[in-house]
A and B are shown apart, each in its own frame.
Chain A
Amino acid sequence: FEISKWNQYVGFATLPNQVHRKSVKKGFDFTLMVAGESGMGKSTLVNSLFLTDLYKDRKLLNAEERINQTVEIIKHTVDIEEKGVKLKLTIVDTPGFGDAVNNNECWKPITDYIDQQFEQYFRDESGLNRKNIQDNRVHCCLYFIPPFGHGLRPVDVEFMKALHEKVNVVPLIAKADCLTPSEIKKLKDRVRDEIERFGIKVYQFPECDSDEDEEFKQLDKELKECCPFAVIGSNTVVEARGQRVRGRLYPWGIVEVENQSHCDFVKLRNILIRSHMHDLKDVTCDMHYENYRAQCIQDMTRFLFILHAVVKLTQDNRMESPIPMLPLPTPDVETDRLIKMKDEELARMQEMLNKMQQQIHDGKDQ
C-alpha cells in the first residue's frame, strides 16, 4: 500500500499560532505592585515604562497631612493596546510605606493585600462558576531602594523578607542619576551581597534553554549580572544629540532614560514587558499561589484537627470545654474530603492510644 506523502503532515504544529490568536482575542492582564518610600520616582517610572500618565490627578500630601497616614493600597487600572494585543494593566501603589517615624510592620497592609488576592482567587477557583475568574493576584513587586544609602537598610531587608515568598520581588535602585558609574557598581555589589547574606529570595530569571544561540545566552548573562537594576524615569522629552528623547535636563548634561550607558531602564522594561511578563505570571501561579494554597489548606485542616481533638477530649473527660466552639468555615467538597480524611486519621490514632494504654495497664498488673 501507498502512504501518501502529504498525509504525513498532521498539522498540530499550528497549535502555537492558534493559542496565540486566542490569547490575542482574550487579551492579557498583568498586575504590578510598586513599593518604596515616597519620592523614589515610582510614579514617574511606571509612567515611563508604560508610556501612560496614570498619576495625572494625584495630589502630593505635605508632611503635616501625612502625619497620621497609614500605608494605603491604591489600584490604578489602564487598558493598553499595541499592535492588536490588549493588555489590562493594574498598578498597585503603596503610598505611605516607610514614611512614618515609626515604621514597624509597615509592610503588613501590603502582605495582607497580597494574601487577600490569593484568598479571593482560591475561593473563586474552588467555586462553581469558574468561567470568568478575575485574576487580581500580584504578579510582580518592584521594590525601590534609595540610592542615597550604602546598601540595604533594615526596612528594606524586613520588607523583602516579608514578601519574597508571596510575590516576585524585583529590587531596583531608584533615581540612579545621582550616582557615578563606580558608585552604582559598588552599591549593586553591596546590595547583591546583602540579599544573599540575609537570605532574600528575589525573582530569579529562568535559565536559558541550552539550544539558544550564544548571543542570546550572553545577553541573558549580562541581564542577570545587572541586578538590581539602576533606573531613572522621565516622561518629559528633551533634545539630546540632535534627537528628541525622554530624559532629564540638568545644567551639566542630559540624562537619557533609554540610553543603556546612562541607566538600566531599557533592561528593566525588556525584562518586565518584552521577555519575562509571562514568566512572572507563571511563577506567581505555580509557586507563590500554590505555596499560599498549600499553606492555607494545611492551616485549615490543622485548625479542624485541633478542633476535633478538643471535642474528643471534652467528650472523653466529660469536662466543660474550656475553649468555646468556633463556627466551622463553610464546608465545600474539598474541605469535607479533608475533614473525613482527618477523622479517619484521628480514629486510627485513638485506637493506637487505646492499645498503648491497655499495654501499660497490663504491664502494671503483672
Chain B
Amino acid sequence: MSESIVPPEVRPKPAVPAKPPHVAAPSPTAPHGPSGLGGGGSTLLGYIGIDTIIEQMRKKTMKAGFDFNIMIVGHSGLGKSTLVNTLFKSQVSRWSSGWGGEHKIPKTVEIKAVSHVIEEGGVKMKLTVIDTPGFGDQINNENCWDPISKYINEQYEKFLKEEVNIARKKRIPDTRVHCCLYFISPTGHSLRQLDIEFMKHLSRVVNIIPVIAKSDTMTPDEKNEFKHRVRKELETHGIEYYPQNEFDDDMEDKNENDKIREAMPFAVVGSDKEFQVNGKRVLGRKTAWGVVEVENPNHCEFALLRDFLIRSHLQDLKEVTHNIHYETYRARRLNDNGGLHPISANNTQESNL
C-alpha cells in the first residue's frame, strides 16, 4: 500500500507576532526524518505555533474589553476636561465643551467619576475619567489632596476585599486609578508649592504623569527652560513620576523610558474645535495671530503625550498599578491586620484606613 504523503497541516500564521528567527519555516513537501504519524509529522522539529497564544489572548481581551481609569488633578481652568476629551477624541469628561456648564468652585475637593465606553478597531474600552473639582482653588489649600488620597486607597481596598473573598467574581471590577494626570500651571517660573506637596504625597500611591497645561502661553524657549526647571525640582524633591526609574524591566524598557522621562513633563494644548490650516482640517485654537495646532509637534507636545499614554504605555500603566502600587497597599494592609481573613460576600466591614 503506497503511503499518500499528506502534507503537514499548515496553520495560518497569526497576523500580530513575528516568528522567532531560529524556527525554520514549515515546508509542505520535504519530510524531515521518521514520521511516526501518518503523513505529516515533519512539524515536530519545526514550527510549533506557541506564539499564536498571543493571538488567542488578543481575541479574548478584545471580547472582554479594557477598563481604564484616569484621574485628572489641577486647579480650575487649566483645561483638564478639554485635554481629556481631546486625548480620547470623545466627550468623556463631565463638561461637554469647556465653558458650557456653571463652573462653581466647590468649597472642598470633590471626586466625580464619569464612565464611557468607547470603541475603536473592534476594541472596547470602558474609560472612567475621575475629576477633582475644587483642588487648589481655595485660599487655604492645606491637605486638599486628602480626599484624593482617600479615594485612591478606597479603590485599592475595594479590589482587595474582592480578591480576598471566598466566592470571588470571575473578573474583579477594577476601579483603581491607573493614571493620574497632574496639570502644572504654565507660569514660566517653577513649580508651585502645592504642586510639590501633591506629587510628593501621591507619587508613591499612584502613577503620576505631570503635564504642563495651556502651554500655548509660552514661547519655545520659555517652554524648554520651564520644563528643565520643573524636572530639576521634581528630582530635588525625590518625586518619581511615571514611568518610574525603578520599575524598568530591562535595558530596552529603560532606554525607551529614559527618552520619555527626558521629554517630560509634556507641554500640551487641548482643543475640541477644528480649523482649516493649509487646506487641512486640524484641531486647534484660533487667535488673532495664528492657529495653534494641537497635533503639530512644533506647536505643542500633545501628540507625544497621546502616543505615550494611549498608544504605547496604556497597558503598562495598568500593570504598574496592579503589580506595584496595589501590591504595596495590600502588603501594608496584611501587615497591619496580622493577615486578612476571607470575608464573605455579604460582609460590609468598613476599611480601617
Q: Does A161 sit within 8 A of B, measured CB to CB?
A: no
- Which one of A99-107, A125-133, A217-225 is at the B interface? A99-107
Q: Are B287 and A253 in contact (CB under 8 A)?
A: yes
Q: Are A250 and B290 in contact (CB under 8 A)?
A: yes
Given A149-B77, A154-B105: A181 touches B229 (CB 8 Å cut-off): no
Q: Complex Cα distance A153/B185, Å?
A: 15
Q: Complex Cα distance A39/B225, Å?
A: 13
Give chain B residues whose Cβ lies under 8 Å from the Cβ of A150: 76-77, 99, 103
B141, B189, B216, B289: the one contacting A101 at CB < 8 Å is: B141
Chain B residues touching A, majority SS: loop
Give chain B residues whose Cβ lies under 8 Å from the Cβ of A101: 140-142, 193-194, 197
Give chain A residues whose Cβ lies under 8 Å from the Cβ of B194: 101
Q: Does A293 sit within 8 A of B, measured CB to CB?
A: no
Q: Does B188 sit within 8 A of A, measured CB to CB?
A: yes
Q: Are A100 and B193 in contact (CB under 8 A)?
A: yes
Q: Does A262 sit within 8 A of B, measured CB to CB?
A: yes
Q: Does A171 sit within 8 A of B, measured CB to CB?
A: no
- Which one of B292-300, B308-316, B330-338 is at the A interface? B292-300
Q: Mark B205-236, 1 if CB is under 8 A from A, else 0.
A: 00000000110110110000000010011001
Q: Complex Cα distance A26/B109, Å?
A: 56
Q: Are B185 and A253 in contact (CB under 8 A)?
A: no
Q: Are B195 and A255 in contact (CB under 8 A)?
A: no
Q: Are B299 and A262 in contact (CB under 8 A)?
A: no
A67, A148, A177: the one contacting B213 at CB < 8 Å is: A148
What total of A-B pairs shows CB separation below 8 Å?
126
Give chain B residues whose Cβ lies under 8 Å from the Cβ of A39: 185-189
Q: Are B290 and A64 in contact (CB under 8 A)?
A: no
Give chain B residues whose Cβ lies under 8 Å from the Cβ of A41: 188
Give chain B residues whose Cβ lies under 8 Å from the Cβ of A276: none
Q: Does B138 sit within 8 A of A, measured CB to CB?
A: yes
Q: Complex Cα distance A153/B195, Å?
A: 18
Q: Mark A150-191, 1 if CB is under 8 A from B, else 0.
A: 110111001000000000000000010111110100100000
Which of B186, B197, B236, B289 gathers the greatest number of chain A CB atoms within 10 Å? B289
Q: Does A254 sit within 8 A of B, measured CB to CB?
A: yes
Q: Does A249 sit within 8 A of B, measured CB to CB?
A: yes
Chain A residue nearest to B289 (CB atoms) is A253
Given A102-B142, A155-B139, A255-B289: A63 touches B216 (CB 8 Å cut-off): no
Q: Complex Cα distance A179/B185, Å?
A: 15
Q: Does B204 sit within 8 A of A, measured CB to CB?
A: no
Q: Complex Cα distance A150/B220, Å?
A: 26
Give chain A residues whose Cβ lies under 8 Å from the Cβ of B214: 148, 178
A304 CB to nearest B CB, Å: 36
Q: Are A153 and B188 in contact (CB under 8 A)?
A: no
Give chain A residues whose Cβ lies under 8 Å from the Cβ of B197: 101
Within 8 A of A (CB), among B298-350: 298-299
Which of A37, A64, A186 gathers the greatest number of chain B CB atoms within 10 Å? A64
Give chain A residues whose Cβ lies under 8 Å from the Cβ of B76: 149-150, 153
Q: Does A252 sit within 8 A of B, measured CB to CB?
A: yes
Q: Are B137 and A153 in contact (CB under 8 A)?
A: yes
A64, A175, A181: the one contacting B287 at CB < 8 Å is: A181
A62 CB to nearest B CB, Å: 5
Give chain A residues whose Cβ lies under 8 Å from the Cβ of B78: 148
Q: Does A66 sit within 8 A of B, measured CB to CB?
A: yes
Given A39-B188, A39-B189, A248-B219: A186 touches B287 (CB 8 Å cut-off): no
Q: Complex Cα distance A273/B330, Å?
A: 65
Within 8 A of A (CB), among B85-127: 99, 103, 105
B350 CB to nearest A CB, Å: 30
Q: Are A104 and B140 in contact (CB under 8 A)?
A: yes
Give chain A residues whose Cβ lies under 8 Å from the Cβ of B196: 63-64
Q: Mark B50-94, 1 if CB is under 8 A from A, else 0.
A: 000000000000000000000000011111000000000000000
Give chain B residues whose Cβ lies under 8 Å from the Cβ of A151: 103
A239 CB to nearest B CB, Å: 14
Given A62-B229, A261-B288: A38 touches B189 (CB 8 Å cut-off): yes
20 further interface pairs, Cβ-Cβ under 8 Å (given A37-B187, A63-B233, A63-B237): A62-B190, A63-B191, A64-B196, A67-B193, A100-B193, A101-B194, A146-B77, A147-B217, A148-B75, A148-B77, A148-B185, A148-B214, A149-B77, A150-B77, A177-B287, A180-B287, A250-B219, A250-B220, A253-B290, A254-B290
Report 5 cross-chain contacts, Cβ distance below 8 Å, ordered by A residue: A39-B186, A39-B189, A62-B190, A150-B103, A178-B186
